[in-house]
């Protein structure tokens, strides 16, 4: 994640931190010149990803628009080697 103009830099992975951590990451990404930011999450973090996108759009980057929202299913292997399916979301914000 150190390359300049790297396409993967504008992907924010949402996990279990408070939503504002991810809002800050999204805002920073827009301020560094990105015109698109992808917000990705899986499982229970999906609601937090929606929160982060909505807080960003309503309070911090009010000219950002929802470009695209995708949902899907990913196979995840746990420590015991068992595979289970988990839902995922990808929200694309565009400025």
7/66 with CB nearer a second copy: 66
Q: Between 59 and 78, how does the x/- string for binding to a second copy read (CB under 8 A)?
A: -------x--xxxxx-----
* Interface residue with a second copy, options 12, 14, 26, 46 (CB under 8 A): 46
HEC assignment per residue over the chain = CCCCCCHHHHEEEECCCCHHHHHHHHHHHHHCCCCEEEEEEECCHHHHHHHHHHHHHHHHCCCCEEEEEEEEEEEEECCCCCEEEEEEEEEEEEC
84 lies in the site for a second copy, by CB under 8 A? no
94 lies in the site for a second copy, by CB under 8 A? no
């Amino acid at each position: 994640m150190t390359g300049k103009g790297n396409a993967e830099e504008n992907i924010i992975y949402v996990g279990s931190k408070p939503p504002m951590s991810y809002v800050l990451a999204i805002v920073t990404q827009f301020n560094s010149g990105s015109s698109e930011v992808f917000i990705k999450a899986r499982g229970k973090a999906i609601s937090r990803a929606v929160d982060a996108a909505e807080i960003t759009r309503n309070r911090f980057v009010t000219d950002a628009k929802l470009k695209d929202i995708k949902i899907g299913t990913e196979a995840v292997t746990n420590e015991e080697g068992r595979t289970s399916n988990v839902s995922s979301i990808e929200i694309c914000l565009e400025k």
